[in-house]
Structure formats: structure tokens, C-alpha cells
A and B are shown apart, each in its own frame.
Chain A
């Protein structure tokens, strides 16, 4: 595995599987009463979040703590970022504390890559603009693999606002890499031109949704209405809401959260046994533990470097 996790492209299929196998063992730890292992004791992990986030930031924080690392979580509003300090200056300042890893969430594509240029720490992309969110994709693959054993040949439909979704991009890449057939479907105004280049097909309607084994529903944001990408929530829900009327028994439903009930997903679908949404959230901590572990401990080259440095 490369030194950083910035894109799903940093991982081949074997690399993804190694992380998922590791995550299985950490999921077992999460089932214990004392949910902590000493793997990263004495090492520091910085969570640098330039965007509001509940589940991603809390699960990264928990993951680091369960690995016994010291954790510093910085939110844009609470830091000197609001005083106009540049990303570069912030990262260089934080790097002076010699962190083992920096986890970054930014509203801008490529931010994690830039951070990697400016620090010796391992960098984990926790979402950069509309570009990628690789740990979300890993936990999605983890959730599906746990449920079904394998993604090979699985038909996965990703439904909704693909244009503005970093989750969709990382998921398309990861699902495709794991052998699934990926289709994206949504309003044509919210499907990027040439999205097929990522390894998927594109559909403007949900007419063939029943062909899917898994329906992955994206969050529909209200500002897309004001930007005229879709004329109204009402029309969106009528054409693209995933609910019982469109689903057949046995199809699995996923969502990266938080769900707008009654918009992209019907309330009943959220709570149905077909939904894996709770399992996704639960997988978040174990998968992020695995990512941190693989980056900081698991990599043979880094272990060699650590030994050499003693």
C-alpha cells in the first residue's frame, strides 16, 4: 500500500482486500467490552476537518483512540483557518508536532494530495471536494462483502446526484475494482458527462432498477433545487425516490447518510430489513482502524524504516 490513502486508485484489489481483512479483526475488537488495542500507542493522529462532518470525523476519532493513538481533532471554525492561515501554513504548523498521520476533510478536490506534499505524516483523505471519499467506499465494500461474501458479478446501482458526490466517485472505482457491474442513475442534469470513463454505465431513469442486486442511494441536497438541476423536490421524489414501489424483495439498499427521509429514500425503505445503512455506520470505525493500521504499521517498508531508525 502506498504511504497515503488519497484515492481508491492508490489501492489494487489485493490492497483493498488486505484492508478489509484487517477490518474484520478490528470489528471483533469493537465487539469486546474493552475496545482498545495498543497498536499506535505513543503516536499522534491529527484530524483536520474543513467541513462539517458527524460520522466521518467521529469514526476517525474513535478509530484512532481504539488504536491507542493520541488524537488532535481540529475543526475549521475553531482554528486559525478562519484567521486566513493558508492550508500550507496550517499543515506545516501541525507537522511540527510530528504526527504519524493527518486525516483531512476539505471542500476542495486535491487538498489531501497537497497536504501529502507538505508533511512527512501519512495522509488519509476523509473527503476532498466532490473528488473522493475513499474510506467511505472501503466501508461500503466491507459492508457488502460481509453480507454477500463477494462483490464479483454483483449489479450495483448508484442512484441520485452523482455530479456533486465524492462518495459516488470512490464507490464506482471501488465496486468496479472488486468485480461488480456498476450503473449510475439519476436526473441527466446530475450525471456528469463521460462519467462512464470511471467504469460504469449511466441511466437517466430508474425503469430498470429491479435488475440491481444493490441500490446505493445518494443524498439529495436542497441547494440543487435552487441551482435548477432539478425543478422541484416533488418531481425528484416522484422520479427517483427509492421505495417499496420500485424495489423488489431481496434487493439491498445502502446510503452514505445522513438520509433525507421521504426525498431520496422512502421512510419505509430506510427502516426495512433490506437496508444496510446501520451496518455501514458500524463498519466505519473498524475500516478506519484498518486504514490507519495498514498505513502506519502494516506497511513492510515503513516497519523497516522504523526499525532502521532505532
Chain B
């Protein structure tokens, strides 16, 4: 008899997440320091996983290891609800030389994620049900971590005609976005927001006014003045956030603002929330930890859209993440091939990978210096699923096992052991970070396990 495997139900999802079947975990994680702010947990616990679900939490050292279960000695390590990333680019279909579903979800697993949401700006665009259905089939065969898909708002991301949003929802779309491009026409976006009442699903927006961005390649500020490169002003983003929050208010629509990068956008989001508009926002680890000062290196790893902004913007984003004005962390994982990035900065494509470094980067730069509590970081790195109507991972009996075991004392140099992603364009490459993901359970299955680090404390109990 084949072992039981994951099901959408085991992932606790609404059925819009897809993954390859994997054996359900039987595991006892002993004496880990469990942190789950939603469950009020911040203490050492034994956690028993049976049939891919959390069966029992016990006092440290109290739970016996059942027959056949893997026992992980996790004393001194931290067990967190696994993370959810509402914004990744898997480059499939069409650009599998950058990333595919297998490598992208392997990167997610290595980063401690139990679910990810992929963007539709692929080739072809995910703008019809057949394209989406083919992706769903591939994810169901290849995805290591449960993966969901957003479909395009407009055909070919051209901003001119709505996609068949209702049919796309039936085919599994979590929601809609033209990510990579803004919906330039307010009239077109308004139609999409009205149509949302029929189709359902979140409308997620990449906010940028092309007339203000021009041919900008980095943040407009002292550094762009110094380098002589065309700048993307922060108002290119914030004016569109304000415009679209007004449209969402008028249409009573549900809108999510993607990869917010500047203080003015935070103000616009805060203003909309104060008015009761159904809006939410995300910020990326790179915008929360780096600034345009990095661009002085002219290294194209630091080229992304929106661009790395000023220190004042970065601080505003951190404060918004702390206060909850920004609801969640999203990596905007954007893989590109080496030859595409190894060109002069202005010529390079925009984007950085981020799945494998998100937790460590934020832990190192925000939690260790005392700017953000670990509990707040865990909440923001797991909130994306709930925002998208999927699920929220919890460490509680009966919940599917979506767990991440991290060693907060371990330091590592990003990239020195390579990447699980097919691409290496990580803006944190070469940095020494604190906090390493040792083990990830997603949808009840073990999806990542660091061989060297976990090998020592893992023992099969011989009876």
C-alpha cells in the first residue's frame, strides 16, 4: 500500500493551491522554542506530527516518539509556522531557463515557505483558462510546495481588454494582477473592480505611472544624480496607490497593493485603511533592508522594480510593517539568468531572487538589532495566505503541519553553497546572514531538510 499523501485539504487551503503528492510526515520535533503569535506561543515545546497534521503539543521532553516517527532534537532551535509568499515569479511557462515550478518551489521550501503565489507575467501570459489549467496540471505534478496562481487582469498585460476573469477563477485563479506593469487606465481598472463582484478573487496591483517612471532604472535621488542614471521617482508609485485606493473605495472593491517601496505609498495606504477601504499591502525583504546606496556598486543584482529607495523610505516601510499598515512580507522573487544580468546596469532586466533569503535577511537586519520582534516578523511572513483567502498556518493541534525549524544562531554567507533556485541574481549574495532554515514542512509533508545541520539531531528511535 502506498503511503498517504498530501491533499489540498491537508494544506488547509480552499483548493486553489497545487502541489505534487508527497508522503505525509510522521515526526516528533523535540524541545524546540515554538513561536506562533496567533496561538500565543513563545516557549519550548515538543510538537508531534502524525499523518501530516499537528497531533499534539507537549511540555519539552514530555512527548514520546511513536513507532516509525522521525525524531528531531531541536533544543535551542526555533519552530515557526511556515511562511506564505504572495508574490513570486516562477517564469513558467516560457522562461524555464530562469526558473521552473520544480526549482522555484525548491527555493521556497529552502526558505521555509509552505505556500507561494505565482505571478502571471509569463510567456504566454496567464490570461486564459487553458494556459492556467496547464499550469495547474504542472504544479500538481512538480510543485514541492503548494503553489497558487494569479491570472492577468488584462489580456497580454496590455491594459486594453479584461481577461475572462470568471472562467479563470473557475480554472483555479486566486485572483488577478498585471504585475510587472501597472493598469495605466483608471477606466480599465474600474471595470476590473466592478467585474470582481462576479468573478471574486483579489485584485493585486503593481503601482507605477509610466509617464513618471519614464526610462528610469533606479530610485530618483542623490544616487541617481551621482550616477547619471534616469530615476524612477517615488511619486510614480504613490500617486497610483492613491488613485487606485480611491477607485477601490468608490467600487467597494478588494484591492492588494504589491511591493510597496516608499514613504508616500505607505501614507496613501494608511489613509485608505483609515477610511475603511478594503485594501492591503505588501513589502519585500530588499525594500525593508536595503537602499539605493547599494546601486553605487553598479551591480545589476540591485536593479529591481520598484527600485531600492532612500533610507527614509526604508524606515517608513519598516515602521508600516511593524504597525500593520503593511500587512505582509512578499519576496517578489524574480529570477534572471546570469547572462541577462551580466550587462551594464541600465541594460539589465529588473528583479532579484528572494525566497531563500527572506527570513534570514529580515531576521538579521530587523529582528537582531531590536527593530522588530520575532513574533511580528513571523506574523507578517505568514499573513499573505489569509489576505488572499487561502489559509493561515498555525501551530495548534489538528492543523496541517506547515512548520519551519530555524537555527537563529547559525550564520551563513548567501550563495556560498549555491542556490536551490535556478538563478543566482540575489541582492543579498555574498552577505553573511543570521538564521538558517533547517527543516520545512508544507501541507503536511517534509519539503526541505538541510542534510548537514539536521543530520546530527535527527535520530530514528530504535525500539
Chain A bound to chain B: yes
- Which A residues fall within an 8 A CB radius of B? 86-88, 106, 108-111, 113-114, 128-132, 164-166, 169, 192-198
In contact, B346 and A109 (Cβ under 8 angstroms)? yes
Q: How far is the CA of A111 from the CA of B348 in the complex (A)?
A: 12
Residues of A within 8 A of B342 (CB): 86, 88, 114
Counting CB contacts under 8 A, is B221 at the interface?
A: yes
In contact, B226 and A169 (Cβ under 8 angstroms)? yes
Q: How far is the CA of A111 from the CA of B233 in the complex (A)?
A: 24
Q: How far is the CA of A147 from the CA of B345 in the complex (A)?
A: 39
In contact, A194 and B221 (Cβ under 8 angstroms)? yes
In contact, A109 and B225 (Cβ under 8 angstroms)? no
Residues of A within 8 A of B343 (CB): 86-88, 108, 114
Q: How far is the CA of A209 from the CA of B342 in the complex (A)?
A: 44
Residues of A within 8 A of B223 (CB): 197
Residues of A within 8 A of B228 (CB): 109, 129-132, 164-166, 169
Residues of A within 8 A of B222 (CB): 193-194, 196-197
A-B contact pairs, 30 of them (CB 8 A): A86-B342, A87-B344, A88-B339, A88-B342, A108-B344, A108-B346, A109-B229, A109-B346, A110-B227, A110-B298, A110-B344, A114-B298, A114-B342, A129-B228, A129-B344, A131-B227, A131-B228, A132-B228, A164-B228, A165-B228, A169-B226, A169-B228, A192-B225, A192-B231, A193-B222, A193-B225, A193-B231, A194-B221, A195-B225, A198-B225
Residues of A within 8 A of B298 (CB): 109-110, 113-114
Interface size class of B (residues with CB under 8 A): 20 to 34
In contact, B229 and A129 (Cβ under 8 angstroms)? yes
Counting CB contacts under 8 A, is B220 at the interface?
A: yes
Q: How far is the CA of A41 from the CA of B66 in the complex (A)?
A: 81
Excluding A109-B229, A130-B229, A197-B225, 9 further A-B contacts by CB distance (< 8 Å) are A86-B339, A108-B345, A109-B344, A109-B345, A129-B346, A131-B228, A169-B228, A194-B221, A196-B222
Which residue from chain B places its CB closest to the CB of A89 in the assembled complex?
B339
Counting CB contacts under 8 A, is B224 at the interface?
A: yes
Which residue from chain B places its CB closest to the CB of A169 in the assembled complex?
B228
Residues of B within 8 A of A193 (CB): 220-222, 224-225, 231, 233
Q: How far is the CA of A198 from the CA of B228 in the complex (A)?
A: 11
Residues of A within 8 A of B226 (CB): 169, 197-198
- The residue among A114, A169, A192, A195 with the most chain B CB atoms within 10 A of its own CB is A192
Which parts of B322-353 form the interface with A (CB within 8 Å)? 339, 342-347
Q: How far is the CA of A114 from the CA of B343 in the complex (A)?
A: 8
Residues of A within 8 A of B224 (CB): 192-193
Which parts of B225-243 form the interface with A (CB within 8 Å)? 225-229, 231, 233
- The residue among B220, B225, B227, B339 with the most chain A CB atoms within 10 A of its own CB is B225
- The residue among B221, B344, B347 with the most chain A CB atoms within 10 A of its own CB is B344
Which residue from chain B places its CB closest to the CB of A88 in the assembled complex?
B342
Q: How far is the CA of A132 from the CA of B224 in the complex (A)?
A: 12
Residues of B within 8 A of A192 (CB): 224-225, 231
Closest 7 pairs between A and B when the two form their complex, measured CB to CB: A130-B228, A110-B298, A108-B344, A197-B222, A192-B225, A194-B222, A131-B228
Distance in angstroms from A100 CB to nearest chain B CB is 24
Q: How far is the CA of A114 from the CA of B339 in the complex (A)?
A: 13
Q: How far is the CA of A87 from the CA of B347 in the complex (A)?
A: 11
Residues of A within 8 A of B221 (CB): 193-194
Distance in angstroms from B136 CB to nearest chain A CB is 37
Given contacts A113-B298, A169-B226, A197-B225, contact A106 B344 (CB under 8 A): yes
Given contacts A87-B344, A193-B221, A194-B222, contact A109 B227 (CB under 8 A): yes
Q: How far is the CA of A164 from the CA of B230 in the complex (A)?
A: 9
Residues of B within 8 A of A169 (CB): 226, 228
Residues of A within 8 A of B231 (CB): 192-193
Which residue from chain B places its CB closest to the CB of A130 in the assembled complex?
B228
In contact, B225 and A131 (Cβ under 8 angstroms)? no
Distance in angstroms from A113 CB to nearest chain B CB is 5
Q: How far is the CA of A166 from the CA of B228 in the complex (A)?
A: 7
Residues of A within 8 A of B229 (CB): 109, 129-131
